Structure 1
Amino acid sequence: MLHDHKDTTLTCPCGSNKPFSFCCEPAIEGHKPAATAEALMRSRYTAFVLGAVDYLINTTVEEHRTPDDATLIAEQIKATTWAGLKILNTEAGLADDQEGMVEFIAHFETDDQVADLHERSLFRKQDNHWFYVDGDVEILPTE
């Protein structure tokens, strides 16, 4: 379990302003898959915040997984503090779609920098589950 289930008021890190237990937690814990590409993107951001490495791997399309993923993701999570998510745009990616795109900015901090990750992420639905495919990423320094 990722948090104390008795505290249903804990706000989800994804920026939805919903309680975590009613937002990203059901997807991350495997109880209910994300219904849309945006919901998957939000849950993946939350997984980075919380260190849910397996969820990040399991929600990436199989053809883009590598044997080193767990180690690389764990190292990235250890070195990065995620401090905010803003959805800029979505294209398709609804419950009845098979593909979708979510454009977002995620604010982060490391020992070396404070910056924003700007990404246009592509998602694909397979067997009634959304998966992250890949994305165009740009790191924008903040002042």
Structure 2
Amino acid sequence: VDALMAFKSSLAIPPAADPFFASWDAAAATPCNFTGVTCRGSAVTALSVHDLNVSAESVPFDVLCGSLRSLATLSLPSNALAGTIAGVDACVGLQELTLPFNSFSGDIPDLSPLTGLRTLNLSTNAFSGSFPWSALAAMPGLQALSAGDNPDLTPPSPSRA
């Protein structure tokens, strides 16, 4: 519950998104009844916050990933989330990382610890620097990769295209 409440606290929530977060109660014994949260048993396996126009200057990925050890899906598309995605590499159980249509920026960290990743979508943000192409070798099950529409992201060299 604490990690999810830290995530919620990092957000500026517009009135239209209030109903989505109405079930998020810090006094809850379990977050498994929170809207957008999926559990297996008592372990959080998915966090999905889609198209709510919530904003944040920084998302506490380190707190989420450090506390939610069973997290397999982290899906936060089409919001107004900003800052870096540092700490997301600690979500070592992730199978899906979907962060498109936000305002994340800075370097994409080395994602090689995410060995079970099947879907990686970082498109339409403001990432810069080089994509960590070598990390993909650690993800043998990767089926979908999208990192386009990041104008300051260095394109791959022709040998990797």
Which has more helix, going by share of residues? Answer: 1
> Where is the strand percentage greater, Structure 1 or Structure 2?
1
Bigger radius of gyration, 1 or 2? 2
Q: Could you say whether these structures have the same fold, taking a TM-score greater than 0.5 normalized by the shorter chain as the test?
A: no
TM-score (structure 2 length as normaliser): 0.28
**TM score, norm. by length of structure 1:** 0.30
Higher relative contact order (CA 8 A, sep 6+): 1
